[in-house]
Amino acid sequence: MNIAILAAEVAPWSKTGGLGDVCGALPGVLAALGHRVLTVSPRYKEYADADDTGVRTYIHLFGQRHEVRYFVARTPAPEAVAGDAPVGDAPAGIAAPGEVRHVFVDHPSFRRGGIYGDAHGSYGDNLFRFALLSRAGIEAAALVPVFRPAPGTADLAPLGEDVVFHVNDWHTSLVPLYLDAIYRPAGHFRRAGTVLGIHNAGHQGAFAAHQFAGLDVSSRWWPHTDMNGHLNLLKTGVVLADRVVAVSPNYAREICGELGFGLGHLFASRGRELLGIVNGVGEEWNPATDPQIAAPFSAEDLSGKLACKRALQAELGLPARDVPLLALIARLDPQKGVDLLMEILPWLMTQDVQLVILGSGSAALEQQMREMEWNHRDKARGWVGYNEGLAHRMEAGADLFLMPSRFEPCGLNQIYSLRYGTVPVVHATGGLADTVETLDPSRDRGTGWAFRSFSAGAFMDAMGWALLTWWRFPDEWRAMQRRGMTQDWTWTRSARAYERVYAEVLGLRG
Which of 358, 418, 467, 506 touches ligand ADP by CB under 6 A? 358
100 touches ligand ADP (CB under 6 A):
no
The footprint of ligand ADP on residues 400-429 (CB under 6 A) is 410-413
The footprint of ligand ADP on residues 443-502 (CB under 6 A) is none
Question: What SS3 state is found at 490?
Answer: strand
| From 166-174, 305-313, 387-395, 472-480, span contacting ligand ADP (CB under 6 A) | 387-395
The CA distance from 124 to 245, in Å, is 29
337 touches ligand ADP (CB under 6 A):
no
Q: Which is nearer to ligand ADP, 141 or 412 (CB)?
A: 412
Provide the minimum distance between the beta carbon of 284 and ligand ADP in the complex, in angstroms, as a whole number. 10
Which of 261, 347, 374, 386 touches ligand ADP by CB under 6 A? 386
- Indicate the residue type of 178: Y
First to last CA, the chain: 14
Phi/psi of residue 358, nearest 5 degrees? -120, 125
| From 25-33, 112-120, 329-337, 464-472, span contacting ligand ADP (CB under 6 A) | 329-337
Partners of residue 358 on adjacent β-strands: 329, 383
Provide the minimum distance between the beta carbon of 233 and ligand ADP in the complex, in angstroms, as a whole number. 21
Which of 45, 56, 191, 331 touches ligand ADP by CB under 6 A? 331
Which of 7, 11, 13, 18 touches ligand ADP by CB under 6 A? 18
Provide the minimum distance between the beta carbon of 392 and ligand ADP in the complex, in angstroms, as a whole number. 8
Provide the minimum distance between the beta carbon of 375 and ligand ADP in the complex, in angstroms, as a whole number. 21
The CA distance from 218 to 212, in Å, is 10
Provide the minimum distance between the beta carbon of 414 and ligand ADP in the complex, in angstroms, as a whole number. 7
The number of angstroms, rounded, from the C-alpha of 504 to the middle of its chain's C-alpha atoms is: 23
In Å, how far are 65, 79, 205, 207, 419 from 125, measured between CA atoms? 16, 37, 12, 10, 42
330 touches ligand ADP (CB under 6 A):
yes
Let me know if 497 is exposed, middle or buried by CB neighbors in 10 A (0-12, 13-18, 19+): middle
17 touches ligand ADP (CB under 6 A):
yes
Question: What SS3 state is found at 64?
Answer: strand
329 touches ligand ADP (CB under 6 A):
yes
| From 328-336, 341-349, 421-429, 491-499, span contacting ligand ADP (CB under 6 A) | 328-336
Which of 89, 388, 475, 488 touches ligand ADP by CB under 6 A? 388
Q: Which is nearer to ligand ADP, 261 or 471 (CB)?
A: 261
Q: Which is nearer to ligand ADP, 215 or 391 (CB)?
A: 391
Let me know if 194 is exposed, middle or buried by CB neighbors in 10 A (0-12, 13-18, 19+): buried
**Which stretch of DSSP H or E encloses residue 450?**
strand 449-451
Site mask for ligand ADP (CB under 6 A), range 283-322, x = bound: ----------------------------------------
Q: Which is nearest to 218 in space by CA: 266, 170, 195, 185?
A: 185
Q: Which is nearer to ligand ADP, 196 or 358 (CB)?
A: 358
Q: Which is nearer to ligand ADP, 196 or 412 (CB)?
A: 412
Q: Which is nearer to ligand ADP, 195 or 329 (CB)?
A: 329
Q: Which is nearer to ligand ADP, 11 or 73 (CB)?
A: 11
391 touches ligand ADP (CB under 6 A):
yes
Greatest C-alpha distance within the chain: 71
Q: Which is nearest to 8 in space by CA: 167, 165, 241?
A: 167
CB atoms within 10 A of CB 150: 10
Q: How many residues bind ligand ADP (CB under 6 A)?
A: 16
Q: Which is nearer to ligand ADP, 18 or 205 (CB)?
A: 18
Which of 360, 455, 487, 490 touches ligand ADP by CB under 6 A? 360
> What is 365-403 written as a DSSP string?
HHHHHHHHHHHTTTTEEEEES--HHHHHHHHHH-SEEEE
The CA distance from 140 to 216, in Å, is 19
Q: Which is nearer to ligand ADP, 198 or 217 (CB)?
A: 198
351 touches ligand ADP (CB under 6 A):
no
**Strand arrangement, sheet containing 380-384:** 380-384, 354-361, 325-332, 400-403, 423-427, 449-451
Q: Which is nearer to ligand ADP, 132 or 384 (CB)?
A: 384
Which of 42, 193, 287, 359 touches ligand ADP by CB under 6 A? 359
241 touches ligand ADP (CB under 6 A):
no
CB atoms within 10 A of CB 92: 15
370 touches ligand ADP (CB under 6 A):
no
Contacts of 177 (CB under 8 A, 6+ apart): 217, 221, 224, 225, 236, 240
Q: Which residues bind ligand ADP (CB under 6 A)?
A: 17-18, 329-331, 358-360, 386-388, 391, 410-413
